[in-house]
Homo-oligomer: A and B are copies of this chain.
Amino acid sequence: MTTTGTETIDWRNCQPVELTDILRHSSEAFYEHGFHGTTVRDIAARVGVTVPALYYHHENKEAILVAVLGAAIADLQVRGEAAIADAGDDPVQQMANLVESVTLHLTVRARLAALDSEYRYLSADARMPYAEVRKANELLTRSVIDRGVEAGVFHVDDTAEATRALLGMLQAIPRWYVDSGPLTPADVATRYVGLSLALLGATPRKD
């Protein structure tokens, strides 16, 4: 548990992201039919409001996707920072905590997290605020890898490439994880901490 400012974040306790009714129904529609396959009319019907009522809250469908994605990634970022802060000075523990925190997000919130791939359909302007937090998220991961390389505990040839590879590996999780399956979010997190540390050359070989 970590205190940032006046707020305490229990980053290991990962619950569904709190969304308004409109955003929650929209995220389900986007998940099932994709951004392009979802109409504002579909969303209004799911929420049980008229289309004009929907437009009162959100300018258009693009603004709704931005709001959904933004809520998810902002929470991911805050939890990641808390997880790192909780690990003390050891880059290996910082990475273990960060990967645990990211994996919990990608499993507990798999359907919401899977919407990340829809962001490429946003216009450049609409995408910008989300792209900024997404970049901050990448830099947070990269900063831990950098510290590990400096400390001699991670062994990678190219930090930027290792960051992309690590995040790519994690971002695939929502594509196969189902909460009715045999693995709990905590099980998946344990496995991906091990895989991530191996990828970064941090774990001792077992032979």
Contact = CB atoms under 8 A, between A and B. Distances in A.
A198 interface: yes
Contact of A198 (B35, B164, B201): B201
B205 A201 contact: yes
A119 to B, nearest CB: 10
Contact of A157 (B34, B173, B194, B205): B194
Interface in A169-207: 169-173, 175-176, 191-192, 194-195, 198-201, 203-207
A66 interface: no
Interface string A151-163: 0100111100110
A33 B122 CA distance: 10
A165 interface: yes
Contacts of A176: 164
A195 B199 contact: yes
Nearest to A153: B207
Interface of A: 33-37, 117, 120-121, 152, 155-158, 161-162, 164-173, 175-176, 191-192, 194-195, 198-201, 203-207
